[in-house]
Structure 1
Amino acid sequence: MVTVNELIKSIWYGPAPTAEEAQNIKGSLKEEISEEECLISLIQLFKSGDFSLKHTLIYLMNSTKDEKILNLCIHVFCSVCTHEDLRKVEHLNFLSEYQKRMLMFLRHVQERRYLLKLFRIF
């Protein structure tokens, strides 16, 4: 299984799981797991096109105290968020704690814009 440290170093999240693997991952999220395992599982689901647990990512992003987890949560959020997600202020509660977090968030937004322009999607 991929670790948070490996994912932080890259803008890509690896290959998508099969439909059966995605169902197993979704089932594992109902168990008591660490923040890191939860985030890795959410990324796997998002890669398969299942965004039904995006609210879990938002909760994790706003509740974690681990900077590594938060950094990757922000990165993933910027990859999967919609305009509606960005309009909801409660989704960005993590920004209220530190100015550094706001700068980190804006950096990821800027990286996403750059990639979208690079591939002429935006």
Structure 2
Amino acid sequence: MTRLIAVQESEVEVSAIRAQGAGGQNVNKVSSAIHLRFDIPVSSLPDDVKERLLALHDNRITRDGVLVLKAQQHRTQDMNRMDAFARLHELVASVATPPRIRKPTKPTYGAKQRRLQTKGQRSEIKASRGRVTE
């Protein structure tokens, strides 16, 4: 069961910046990269989703709980904006479902017997490695 959680666009701060790296005149003149900031603690996400997002050990999440994404893969600002939002939704969707709680299990009777049998065999092998006396 996957929960669909929508991120409100009004909660996201988007700014256009100049991209880094190679690209010549286009990179130097056009602000086509997108800097997306999403404040997790004040967002309208459910509390359990917020906790799991903040618990992620992700370098893109600041100490204040602000998720910072930078999209500069595409040539146009619109494509980079779509890419940044897609990555944000993907990250939120990855923590939307709570992790399953592990049910502790016990080894079966047969497994215990096999373990004891191999321990006995191993013990006999090691006991026979001693000094030979006649």
For the criterion TM > 0.5, the same-fold answer is no
TM-score category of the 2 structures, normalised to the smaller one: under 0.3
Structure 1 or 2: more helix by fraction: 1
TM-score by length of 1: 0.22
TM-score, normalized by length of structure 2? Answer: 0.21
Which has a greater percent of strand?
Answer: 2
